Amino acid sequence: MNKIICSDYNEVCAAAADIFAQQLSLKPSSVFGLATGSTPVGLYEELKRRCSARELDFSKAHAFNLDEYYPIEKNHPQSYKAFMDLHLFDEVKFESTQIPNGEAADPHIECARYDAAIEAAGGIDLQLLGIGINGHIGFNEPNTVYPVGSHLTELTESTLIANSRFFGEGEKQPETALTMGLGPIFNAKHILLLITGAAKAQVAKKLFDGKLYTDVPACFLLLHPNVTVILDKAASG
């Protein structure tokens, strides 16, 4: 696990954008695994800036997002489809983008379709991850048994509380979601995990104390041969 500690959030975003840039220059048709949440917003801002300065070009690249609430309408302001359009895709054009379909009639068929699409694209070259305060990656929540493939999952109390800040009063927050499983995430050739803010210091500590806590899904990353973790000072304790 390659660990980079940056002084602040902006430096984390710039360092992460450099890794995206390296991946693109290596392979313009790269397949990127993308994430939502507040952590990657600054990275997406930086990618937009570099694209409008013509330093980067994603027009031959492909993107698969980690997860989506289920059920949720695509145009719901809190859908991850809407999030990605707002923060990246409206400005940065990819050859193709995919997000699990929160409107699918059958979530299990949708998850199987999603895994097949990732495989047909040749797997993910660079997978971006944030981390939940409970150690989740994507919506792979702490558990004793982990489905390998993409699946429908119930969100834990801790995730519901953490994400409730995005939902307005009276707005119904979905309690289930579709998530890429640990299998497709771990098939990525390179995984880039961003951990920022003091609230993540405790979970970051578990990642680096040389033990695999099975109730901290991010700890399984210790078994992947090519993981880069970028932390800010606050998260690194």
Which chain residues interact with ligand PGA by CB under 6 A? Answer: 37-39, 130-132
- Among 45, 134, 143, 187, the active-site one is 134
Give yes or no for a contact between 100 and 35, defined as CB atoms under 8 angstroms apart. Answer: no
- Among 125, 141, 151, 163, the active-site one is 141
Q: Which is nearer to ligand PGA, 62 or 200 (CB)?
A: 200
Q: Among residues 32, 22, 114, 109, which one has the least CA distance to residue 67?
A: 114
Q: Which is nearer to ligand PGA, 131 or 178 (CB)?
A: 131
Print burial letters for 32-59: b (CB count within 10 Å at least 16), e (below 16): bbbbbbebbbbbbbbbbebbeeeebebe
**Least distance between ligand PGA and beta carbon 87 (Å):** 12
Q: Among residues 175, 191, 171, 165, which one has the least CA distance to residue 66?
A: 191
Q: Which is nearer to ligand PGA, 24 or 84 (CB)?
A: 84
**Least distance between ligand PGA and beta carbon 226 (Å):** 20
- Among 62, 65, 68, 136, the active-site one is 136
**Least distance between ligand PGA and beta carbon 92 (Å):** 19
Q: How far apart are CA 106 and CA 219, in angstroms?
A: 31
134 catalytically annotated = yes
**Least distance between ligand PGA and beta carbon 130 (Å):** 3
Distances (CA, A) of 76 to 15, 48, 57, 172, 203: 32, 23, 29, 11, 31
**Least distance between ligand PGA and beta carbon 234 (Å):** 12
Which residue's Cβ lies closest to ligand PGA? 37
- Among 67, 115, 125, 232, the active-site one is 67
Beginning with the edge strand found earlier in the chain, give each strand of the sheet holding 2-6 in spatial order: 2-6, 227-232, 190-195, 126-129, 31-34, 62-65, 96-98
List of residues 6+ apart from 126 with CB closer than 8 A: 19, 20, 23, 30, 31, 32, 33, 188, 189, 190, 191, 192
Q: How far apart are CA 176 and CA 185, in angstroms?
A: 19
Q: Which is nearer to ligand PGA, 31 or 194 (CB)?
A: 194
141 catalytically annotated = yes
Q: Which is nearer to ligand PGA, 38 or 78 (CB)?
A: 38
**Could you give the residue numbers annotated as active site?**
67, 134, 136, 141
